[in-house]
A and B are shown apart, each in its own frame.
Chain A
Amino acid sequence: MSTVPALEVQDLKKTYPNGVQALKGISLTVQTGDFYALLGPNGAGKSTLIGIVSSLVNSTSGDVRVFGIPIRTQRSAAMQMIGLVPQELNFNLFEKPFDICVNQAGFYGVERKVAGERAEKYLKQLALWDKAFAISRTLSGGMKRRLMIARAMMNEPRLLILDEPTAGVDIEIRRSMWKFIQAINAAGTTVILTTHYLEEAEQLCRNIAIIDHGQIIENTSMKRLLGKLDVETFVLDLGDAGAELPAVDGVKLTRIDDHTLEAEMSRAHDLNSLFAALTARGITVTSMRNKANRLEELFVRLIDANEKAAA
């Protein structure tokens, strides 16, 4: 496997003509073969960063290299290696999926015969072949999203950038899309994913960057990041609610309603003492679950901390 990173971003800045500073000097590296999550709240600068990498947005300053090729001076060579699935639908709604895919390949200089074969391959893999010759306008939301993935694969990119590809897609289709993208990644394509479904990022991605207010506030491996989570909140469903809540060292108990408790505690804290204290007060627990998934919990904490620091 190549040692040249798939993407290197150095001190990238972007100020829009209206004065909004979307990126304030971002630097990050995505290694070849990685499955990389780029997370952040709305307006954090994720789409601007993706726009610059895919040459849809002009940067104010900084350097971007795709497999070592600077996009500022060798745009064409760099773009040859990128496939982009944007956040917004951006295909001709009056064209057919097959034509959309074949034309996209043509824009990358792929011969029409080869383009037709690839279109069939990817439309079939994404379960769209039966709609290949329907007018795209008539496709469902999930189909349109999958069409954009198929289209992005037409140049068989070495770096696939997915900007919220599963937004508004039901869980079944989302899982089929994950499976496809995982297979693409396993075959050697580097994948960068932005999503608001944090369980999606947690399940799929090996490395992660969190952007907020145009700056990277965390850039590490998913494993290391999740290891930082020191506090967890459990939701306890109660059978018998009891009268009064016990006091348990290191655990903050909050009654949500007559049948639900929340217990916030350190990850190192054992659950036995909590259950013993609840039992002693006549409270029975019928089931329990994490309040939020681990990455979501961390994400919210990091963003909150950054907001407070900014204030």
Chain B
Amino acid sequence: MNATGTMIALGTIVRREVVRILRIWSQTLLPPAITMTLYFIIFGQLIGSRVGQIATASDGSPISYIEYIAPGLVMMSVIQNSYGNISSSFFGAKFQRFVEEMLVSPMPGWTILAGYVAGAVMRGLMVGVIVLGLSLFFTKIHLYHPFVTLSTFLLAAVIFALLGFINAIYARKFDDIAIIPTFVLTPLTYLGGVFYNVAQLPSPWRELSHANPILYMVNTFRYGLLGVSDIDPAWAYVVMLGFVLGLGAICLNLLHRGVGLRT
């Protein structure tokens, strides 16, 4: 298959994914909007007003609790939705067997992976923009480092899309794609510094938190928006790029071997 043909195939998968996201918007875009609005009201306005200042910006101005959690809530939505999109969409294709439409075609395995990951990133972007827009009703958002904000968003979405793809590859029933988000993703997200400053945690929880990859994404995204972070952004990039490369290699290997797809 030549380069033009491969790009057409890639575009076809991405287009199909975006059409799917928009077709079932009440399942893909509405729930995170409602959930995050509730977070902003309860954690941001009701509880946050009693917490007061939680950090200080690089220019010395105080950062309120609601300002502090807003980037974390955006990142939480991006992570959950990029993961959920690819795991449910690719597993659905496996379950209904229409993944075979792609498997019998001449397109290479990496195109399938790239198409589904791009679809998941698109969902993460849509949800991220919605949540970011909602946050403006509750607090003001700065943009200290646009490149850091955008690149962190992209890297986090890609990482969790790749994880969701691996989940979908191994899943045999719908329950299998609900287990990881429930028992792994949600706890890690809550313990990843979305709602608190990990530097304020007592030892050994502070040190243990650094083993949580979500901590790096949340804090780097926060650094992009607020200019403050609990961890070194440079180190966060190393961790995130490492995850992208490692998980990408695993996904391509699984596709090449046909694990869960070819008998």
Report A43-75 residues with CB < 8 Å from chain B CB.
51, 54-58, 75
A107 to B103 CA separation, bound complex (whole angstroms): 9
Most buried by A among B2, B11, B104, B107: B104
Whether the Cβ atoms of B106 and A90 lie closer than 8 Å is no
Say whether B106 contacts A109, CB under 8 Å. yes
Check B107 against A109 for contact (C-beta < 8 Å): yes
* Residue A110 CB within 8 A of the other chain: yes
Q: How far is the CA of A109 from the CA of B93 in the complex (A)?
A: 20
Q: Does B181 contact A (CB under 8 A)?
A: no
Give chain A residues whose Cβ lies under 8 Å from the Cβ of B210: none
B15 partner residues in chain A, CB cutoff 8 A? 106
State whether the Cβ of A80 lies closer than 8 Å to any Cβ in chain B. yes
Is A103's beta carbon under 8 Å from chain B?
yes
Contact call B9/A108, Cβ cutoff below 8 A: yes
A92 to B89, CA, bound (A): 11
Say what secondary structure dominates the interface of chain B: helix
A110 and B7 CA atoms in complex are apart in Å by: 10
In the complex, per-residue mask of B1-45: 1 if CB is within 8 Å of any chain A CB, else 0 = 110111011011101100100010000000000000000000000
Q: Is A16 an interface position by the 8 A CB rule?
A: yes
Q: How far is the CB of B262 from chain A (nearest CB, A)?
A: 5
Q: In the complex, what's the smallest C-beta–C-beta distance from A147 to chain B, in angstroms?
A: 12
- Whether B140 is near chain A, meaning CB under 8 Å from some CB there, is no
Say whether A76 contacts B100, CB under 8 Å: no
In the complex the two chains form, is B6's CB within 8 Å of A109's CB?
yes
Within 8 A of A (CB), among B99-131: 100-108
- Centre residue among B4, B106, B108, B258 by max chain A CB count within 10 A: B106
Residue contact B97 to A90, C-beta cutoff 8 Å: yes
Within 8 A of B (CB), among A99-120: 99, 103-104, 106-112
Q: Does B98 contact A (CB under 8 A)?
A: yes
B61 at the interface (CB under 8 A from A): no
| A191 CA to B1 CA, complexed, in Å | 23
Closest CB-CB distance, A21 to chain B, in whole Å? 14
Whether the pair B98, A106 counts as a contact (CB closer than 8 A) is: no
The answer to whether B100 touches A107, judged by C-beta atoms less than 8 angstroms apart, is: no
Given contacts A80-B1, A80-B106, are A107 and B101 in contact (CB under 8 A)?
Answer: yes
CB pair B263–A75 under 8 Å, yes or no, is no
CA–CA, A155 and B104, complex, Å:
12
Residues of chain A within 8 A of B101, CB atoms compared? 90-91, 103-104, 107, 151
Query: What are the residues of chain B within 8 A of A84 when measuring CB–CB?
Result: 104
A58 to B256, CA, bound (A): 11
Tell yes or no: B203 within 8 A of A by CB.
no
Chain A contacts for B8, CB-based, 8 A: 106, 109-112
Q: Does B98 contact A92, Cβ atoms closer than 8 Å?
A: yes
Answer whether A90 and B96 are a contact pair too, CB < 8 Å, given A57-B262, A79-B105.
Answer: yes
Residues on B with C-beta less than 8 A from A89 are 97
Closest 7 CB pairs of A and B: A109-B5, A106-B12, A107-B105, A90-B97, A76-B106, A79-B106, A80-B106
18 inter-chain pairs at a CB distance below 8 angstroms, sorted by A residue, are: A55-B103, A55-B104, A76-B1, A77-B106, A78-B106, A79-B104, A79-B105, A82-B104, A90-B96, A90-B98, A94-B23, A103-B101, A106-B15, A109-B1, A109-B4, A109-B8, A110-B8, A155-B105
Apart from A90-B100, A104-B105, A108-B5, 20 more pairs, CB < 8 Å: A16-B263, A55-B103, A55-B104, A56-B100, A56-B263, A57-B263, A75-B106, A76-B107, A80-B106, A82-B104, A86-B100, A90-B97, A90-B101, A91-B96, A93-B96, A103-B12, A103-B101, A104-B101, A107-B105, A109-B1
